Structure 1
Amino acid sequence: MSASRTVICLLRNDLRLHDNEVFHWAQRNADHIIPLYCFDPRHYQGTYHFNFPKTGPFRLRFLLDSVKDLRATLKKRGSTLLVRQGKPEEVVSELIQQLGSVTALAFHEEVASEEKFVEKKLKDVCCQNKVKVQTFWGSTLYHRDDLPFSHIRGLALGCISPRYIYEQIKKYEVERTANQSTYWVIFELLWRDYFKFVGLKYRNRIFHMNGLQDKHVSWKTDMILFNAWKEGRTGVPFVDANMRELALTGFMSNRGRQNVASFLTKDLGLDWRLGAEWFEYLLVDHDVCSNYGNWLYSAGTGNDPRENRKFNMIKQGLDYDNNGDYVRQWVPELRGIKGGDVHTPWTLSNSALSHAQVSLNETYPSPIIIAPEWSRHINNKSSGPPGKGRKGSSYTPRQHKDRGIDFYFSKNKGF
């Protein structure tokens, strides 16, 4: 009679049953499966450069809910999820000793150095105990082995897989319609894949101040400016609205992320890693490669061929929040200012500010910086009555046509 086969399935950023090769392999190769999740204390320490907490309250709450949900799902299948607090390599070692006989440890591979360090420790533990290690790649839409790039060797918590999202979108397009929304979701899945593979190729260089290009920039670490940025009191309403939404919800739109990153690096000249580590702390959907890859791109030290790509905060605000409703939602002290004028309160007359019950430097700060290129958009605002925004109430923000990832690496693009 053959010996019983026991497999430990270590869950990491793959908190799901569907499209999960770890479970699929274990079901075919084990008599007993032990699903395991570890709350690794290293995930709750300080960030590397500026010592912000690595995991903020929003992501922690989402993580707890996700672990609870997976455990409930497994219980419905007659199993459960073993949850432990501790370093995975230590927890797995203890489990092997307690169980006496473990055939294999299975888990999905990650990309960044801290996760790879844990993987090495896990393999060392298994080697010492003569336990097989079975690893899988499952965090991207495309498998790394499918890429036509010789230089690459063969969704944040993984509660849902990118392949599942892709299949559901394609099903929707067949049954109903393909539209801008379905196009952009798939596009963002590819963008996410791209940064994952950038991390796989460049490893720790995605964390280096000089970035992938080894580009030397005299970044500042002025904490007064940084605190104004992170607290949403820069005096630039579109920036402040996005930063306050992040602080209160753990969420920020992709458009917002691009703008506040550009403002921090290009307008304030602050070290991009300040922003990246602050996002790591607060974002509920933080993904190491996407976050640091996007910050490198915004800072001009990543995969961007265009020199000094910079967003114009006033133009962006008027393009994407023409009537100012988003700003007024998150910056309530400016609610008395109607229309697009809310994006530039410092340009209003004293009587207009008084009527709106706004007092600069008292109820709302004056801008900590005014970029010269903002003036042409301030001057182009409608001179009509308040509330009409840049081109009147009938103005419709420009719609972007479908475009592939090449667009984002073109040298001729206006912001």
Structure 2
Amino acid sequence: MKEIARETVVVLFNRDLRVGDHPALAEACAGARHVLPLFVLDPGMDARGRAGFLAECLADLRASLRDRGGDLVVRRGDPAAEAVRLAREVNASAVWASADVTAYARARERRLARDCERERLEFRLFPGVTVVPPGRLIPTGGDHYKVFTPYWRAWAGTRWRELVEAPERVSLPPGVEPGELPEAEREPYVPGGESRVRRRMELWLRHGLEDYAAGHDDLAGDRTSRLSPYLHFGCVSPLELARLGSRNEEFVRQLCWRDFYHQVTYAFPEISRRDYRPRGRDWNEDKDVAQAWREGMTGIPIVDAGMRQLAAEGWMHNRARLIVASYLTKTLGVDWRVGADHFADLLLDADVANNCGNWQWMAGTGNDTRPNRVLNPIRQARKFDPEGEYVRRYVLELQSYPGGAVHEPWRLSRPVRGYPSPITAQA
């Protein structure tokens, strides 16, 4: 007979909206009589363009927990306060959660630790947001890896934890009101939730993984996995994905990049607002120039295509992200925070670590060992969209342009006040 170590544990969900390979949930269900899975809609966390996707993720998680005899309890307010309040209400002995890395998440964890100590509750943090926990790999003479390649070597050589199975049964404490799931208008993007990503992941691993190294920069072919929104919300375990995709090193390397920026953010939580490596640069503050970039109206076809894909789909091809970021920061001289904020508004996968880490990389204020590198958008377009299919897909004004000629700077079809067309240099 299974030994019951605890009566009731509250498991607080955040960016880990799944039942598969969820260490906190699995251990709670294995060692407690009752488990209260909790998600708190935090008014301090603006879901922006991701509200509909989040709502679907939560609905899918609730369905999975109900299939196992439990439920997802939903509350609104401060996550730390609500978790402790519910723990008192059901006479729980512990509050557990998955550890995260941002300044906001770590402040939440500190509040939880303080409040749990005051209430004599056990508080524990578990892995699950990354493949390798962010504080696990420490270089000699430093607190974190500042350069990717040494991190990749250490990351690839470390022993990963074992995957944990989804619990067969979740027993909710009696008398708990589940609460209402958020309602949000459905965005015209991909559907959210663990059950949906599992089907998508299986298909992609079967049909797309082998060709990933050759095709992941193909803008028109769109041969990336598009799993990043699900990774952001934790609908899929990054560790499980790394294990399943391990036969393709280039794909696993991308998951390592994700872990790299998480460990950078863990060591430098101000990554979303402060330069990681200050360069003393004076930024171009022309608001019209920045707005032209946001609207996909710069006159540089590949840049405008990327920005219009973002607006239309809540997603942008990774190669296009690099191109538009280099153009905004290096060619137009606009502060990287302007670009990072716009991405955070629209991207389904805009987690702080990767979004701001990549923006600082391209701006020359981050972890790039060549901070002065500039991506020439015309050359990039000719290399990664040689027939112009990607540009014509999103810049409808250029659909009649033949072949590679579509990549040449174009005159905007409507005048935009405040700047010339095309914009090619700092104002």
Same fold (TM over 0.5): yes
Local SS of the residue matching 1:31: strand
2:180 aligned residue? none
Q: Note if 1:56 corresponds to 2:48.
A: yes
1:385 aligned residue? none
Deviation of the 1:93 alpha carbon: 3.2
Deviation of the 1:249 alpha carbon: 0.7
The one-letter code sitting in structure 2 at the alignment partner of 1:166 is: A
Deviation of the 1:336 alpha carbon: 1.5
Match of 1:207 among 272, 279, 299: 272
Deviation of the 1:4 alpha carbon: 6.2
1:235 and 1:364 in contact (8 A); partners too: no
Change (3 A) 1:3 1:15: closer
Deviation of the 1:342 alpha carbon: 1.1
Per-residue CA deviation, residues 107-162 of structure 1 (Å, 9 max, x unaligned), is 01111111111111112221221111011122221234542425348x21111111
Deviation of the 1:364 alpha carbon: 7.6
Change (3 A) 1:29 1:305: same
Match of 2:242 among 151, 154, 166: 166
The one-letter code sitting in structure 2 at the alignment partner of 1:362 is: S
Deviation of the 1:95 alpha carbon: 1.2
Structure with the greater relative contact order (CA < 8 A, sep ≥ 6): 1 or 2? 2
Match of 1:362 among 391, 397, 413: 413
Deviation of the 1:18 alpha carbon: 1.4
Q: Unpaired segments of 5 or more residues in structure 1?
A: 45-54, 174-181, 347-359, 373-415
2:134 and 2:262 in contact (8 A); partners too: no
2:116 and 2:123 in contact (8 A); partners too: yes
1:233 and 1:364 in contact (8 A); partners too: no
Local SS of the residue matching 1:238: helix
User: Residues 178-197 of structure 1: matches in 2 within 5 Å?
Assistant: 182-197=248-263
1:123 aligned residue? 113
Change (3 A) 1:164 1:361: closer
Deviation of the 1:61 alpha carbon: 1.6
- State the alpha-carbon separation in 2 of the partners of residues 371 and 214 from structure 1: 22
Deviation of the 1:334 alpha carbon: 1.1
Runs of 4+ in 1 over 6 A off after TM superposition: none
Q: Note if 1:325 corresponds to 2:365.
A: no
- State the alpha-carbon separation in 2 of the partners of residues 160 and 148 from structure 1: 26
The one-letter code sitting in structure 2 at the alignment partner of 1:12 is: N
1:238 aligned residue? 302
Change (3 A) 1:307 1:78: closer
Match of 1:81 among 72, 79, 88: 72
The one-letter code sitting in structure 2 at the alignment partner of 1:333 is: E
- State the alpha-carbon separation in 1 of the partners of residues 377 and 413 from structure 2: 23
Structure with bigger gyration radius: 1
Match of 2:20 among 13, 18, 21: 18
Local SS of the residue matching 1:69: helix
Q: Note if 1:109 corresponds to 2:174.
A: no
Deviation of the 1:333 alpha carbon: 1.2
1:28 aligned residue? 30
The one-letter code sitting in structure 2 at the alignment partner of 1:91 is: E
2:293 and 2:328 in contact (8 A); partners too: yes
1:356 aligned residue? none
Deviation of the 1:92 alpha carbon: 1.6
1:95 aligned residue? 86
Match of 1:268 among 299, 313, 332: 332
TM-score by length of 2: 0.74
Deviation of the 1:82 alpha carbon: 0.6
1:294 aligned residue? 358
Local SS of the residue matching 1:43: coil
Deviation of the 1:84 alpha carbon: 1.5
- State the alpha-carbon separation in 2 of the partners of residues 255 and 168 from structure 1: 24
Deviation of the 1:371 alpha carbon: 5.5
Q: Unpaired segments of 5 or more residues in structure 2?
A: 145-230
- State the alpha-carbon separation in 2 of the partners of residues 345 and 213 from structure 1: 33
The one-letter code sitting in structure 2 at the alignment partner of 1:324 is: G
- State the alpha-carbon separation in 2 of the partners of residues 120 and 188 from structure 1: 30
The alignment yields a C-alpha RMSD, in angstroms, of 2.1
TM-score by length of 1: 0.76
Identity between Structure 1 and Structure 2 (%): 37
- State the alpha-carbon separation in 2 of the partners of residues 269 and 159 from structure 1: 37
- State the alpha-carbon separation in 2 of the partners of residues 115 and 337 from structure 1: 48
- State the alpha-carbon separation in 2 of the partners of residues 277 and 214 from structure 1: 19
Deviation of the 1:63 alpha carbon: 1.1
- State the alpha-carbon separation in 1 of the partners of residues 273 and 63 from structure 2: 41
1:226 aligned residue? 290
The one-letter code sitting in structure 1 at the alignment partner of 2:112 is: L
